[in-house]
Amino acid sequence: MTALAVDPNAPVRQDFIRNIVRDDLQSGKHAEIHTRFPPEPNGYLHIGHAKSLCLNFGVAEEFGGTCNLRFDDTNPAKEDPEYVEAIKEDVRWLGFDWHELRHASDYFEVFYLCAEKLVQDGVAYVCDLSAEEVRAYRGTLTEPGRPSPFRDRSVAENLDLFRRMRAGEFADGSRTLRAKIDMASGNINLRDPAIYRIKKIAHQNTGDAWCIYPMYDYAHCLSDAIEGITHSLCTLEFEDHRPLYDWFVDQVGLTANPQLLAPLSAQGWHLEAAKPRQIEFSRLNINYTVMSKRKLIALVQEKHVDGWDDPRMPTLQGLRRRGYTPSSLRLFADRVGISKQNSLTDFSLLEQALRDDLDAHAERRMAVIDPLKLVVRNLPEQHEETLRFANHPKDPSRGEREVPFSRELWIEREDFMEVPPKGFHRLVPGGEVRLRGIGIVRCVELVKDGDRVMEVHVELDPDTRPGGSATDRKVKGTIHWVSARHAVPAEIRLYDRLFNVPTPDDEDDGGPGYRAHINPESKRFVTGFVEPAAAHCPNELNMQFERVGYFVADRRDHQPAHPVFNRCVSLRDTWAKQAGK
């Protein structure tokens, strides 16, 4: 695949990473930029990954380079082909495509040869300490570590033991291959980190071919070097790992030892190894959510949510089903920006990106989610007509649609109040309001069951209808409606934020933890009515239900005979008032 073409009309983005890339290109350090997006297939992608996706693929696209999608699949105990397929789907859905699809497991033979080289060079050794003993020997942030009693094994003994580890002679966890760096280093990551561990478990790609697997820090940097990655972009928690990243790349020296790539060359791969540069940026942190994979898995497994694609989840699958669009997530990533400073992003910024995107692109429809019968008493019982409404008030090119109108309508129950509060400008006994696209009506009678209003009877002023003599007569309120005779019953799923406090992940601060902060109002299903044009829309079509909010036809459950709509976001930020903003 060729490099991505540079769009000359694209806006010039300015951040410290792009400035580094510009300088590297202008200085001639690199003729072409190569980036990669390297998820571990041990869960679904979430909104934080969207920021990384937009950065890695965006930089490649902006500078005419290439970006690989690589699965860092070095821990088969936690990985699943389901996650692999979901990740590929998410990347494509966001509008990106990869130069090459790779897996760390593609390089297992190369990793092994590189590890043997480290042993032969005297900078790696086989250690018999248990995991608990390794932690005890490692030291603390203020105290140096102690060398393993196996640190000074001979090269011959280490090479023999390592080869026997690969052959499966030893039990899980009984031995590791460790790098020999510096047990007194102020950076704990350099205190003889593990390179390989014994794990007798089948791998999704390599089956039972291996019973030892490389550690992430070792495999990740060598994967970058093998693929010729120029800029390895990762989040700030890897900043302390960068000296180890560089140590492995330098000690192995793939550019000076191309024979280590022989297993790949034998398969017909044409590779140009390079020394990549790791650059860290701040990860995305959003309030009112959790993004730890461990906690997201717990939410699913403990059935606090309805799966990975529950519309309340911060996963890309969940956001997609909620009605978030690729363009809204890219807009959000642009607004958040790239920096070295850790910060907490307000959830409202994500919601506003969706509002701004849908305001421009979503067609309008009418729907009533809490119906109250309204009868236009001065129209004949069988009155019926077809009106034409604009699909989008700001975009005439989207055309018009037909909307049926009849004597009996459904309106929102909140649009009528028998005892209105001060400032209420909708329908009240004896009061007037404008019916959207129809004219002005006056409330003349109520039908009640006890204290509950069952029907509101009104009279329509015919002179205020379109084309009438009093179309410019003013009233303060306008309400929407759907024809009771023609409207289609629909399942309306009213989703909201999954957590009801800004920092649900408060266990480390002595709080009860995220499970205690799940918002009981985050999911509510009701039966409402929608105009026919809404019911017959395709799955995943976004629309604005006028005066109600932005909704999407559910990706999986919606069908014309049984419409199902998920609320994407309200028209205004209702959480700002709760938070006292």
Residue 200, annotated as binding a ligand: no
Cβ(377)–Cβ(444) below 8 Å: yes
Q: Which residue has the tokens 């003889």?
A: 192
CA dist., res. 181 & res. 127, Å (int) = 14
CA dist., res. 477 & res. 465, Å (int) = 16
Q: At 176, which helix (H) or strand (E)?
A: strand 176-179
Residue 519, annotated as binding a ligand: no
Q: Which residue of the set 22, 146, 283, 442 is catalytic? A: 283
Q: Which residue of the set 22, 293, 465, 473 is catalytic? A: 293
Classify each residue of 124-140 as buried b or exposed e, where b means 16 or more C-beta atoms within 10 Å of its C-beta.
Answer: bbbbebeeeebeebbbe
Q: Identity (one letter) of the amino acid at 108?
A: F
Neighbours of 109 (CB within 10 A): 19
Residue 379, annotated as binding a ligand: no
Q: Which residue of the set 36, 40, 116, 178 is catalytic? A: 40
Residue 72, annotated as binding a ligand: yes
Half-sphere exposure of 119 (CA within 13 A, CB side): 26
Residue 451, annotated as binding a ligand: no
Residue 113, annotated as binding a ligand: no
Residue 462, annotated as binding a ligand: no
Residue 40, annotated as binding a ligand: yes
CA dist., res. 382 & res. 125, Å (int) = 89
CA dist., res. 568 & res. 357, Å (int) = 12
Residue 293, annotated as binding a ligand: yes
Residue 549 pairs in a beta bridge with 545
Residue 415, annotated as binding a ligand: no
Q: Which residue has the tokens 């009849």?
A: 406
CA torsion sign, 179 to 109 to 270 to 71?
A: negative
Residue 418, annotated as binding a ligand: no
User: How far, in Å, are 115, 131, 156, 218, 242 from residue 123 at the CA level?
Assistant: 10, 20, 13, 14, 18
Asked about 283 being catalytic, the answer comes back as yes
In terms of Cα–Cα distance, which of 10, 283, 435 is closest to 427?
435
Asked about 40 being catalytic, the answer comes back as yes
In terms of Cα–Cα distance, which of 316, 374, 325 is closest to 354?
325
Residue 50, annotated as binding a ligand: yes
Dihedral Cα 71, 236, 93, 568, nearest 10 deg: 140
Residue 214, annotated as binding a ligand: no
Cβ neighbours for 326, distance < 8 A, ≥ 6 positions apart = 93, 94, 95
Residue 46, annotated as binding a ligand: yes
| Rg from Cα positions in the chain | 31
Asked about 442 being catalytic, the answer comes back as no
- Give the tokens for residue 437: 């696209």
DSSP 531: -
Neighbours of 186 (CB within 10 A): 10
Neighbours of 250 (CB within 10 A): 12
Classify each residue of 522-557 as buried b or exposed e, where b means 16 or more C-beta atoms within 10 Å of its C-beta.
Answer: bbeeeebbbbbbbbebeeebbbbbbbbbbbbbbbee
Residue 373 pairs in a beta bridge with 410, 455
Residue 48, annotated as binding a ligand: yes
- Give the tokens for residue 203: 């791998």
Report long-range pairs for 386-391 (Cβ below 8 Å, ≥24 apart). Answer: 387/437, 387/438, 389/364, 389/437, 390/364, 391/363, 391/364
Residue 41, annotated as binding a ligand: yes
Residue 284, annotated as binding a ligand: yes
**Which residues sit in the known binding site for L-glutamine?**
72, 216
Which of the residues are catalytic?
40, 283, 293
Instruction: Please state the residue numbers annotated as binding site for ATP.
Output: 40-42, 46-52, 235, 283-284, 291-293
Binding site, residues?
A: 40-42, 46-52, 72, 216, 235, 283-284, 291-293
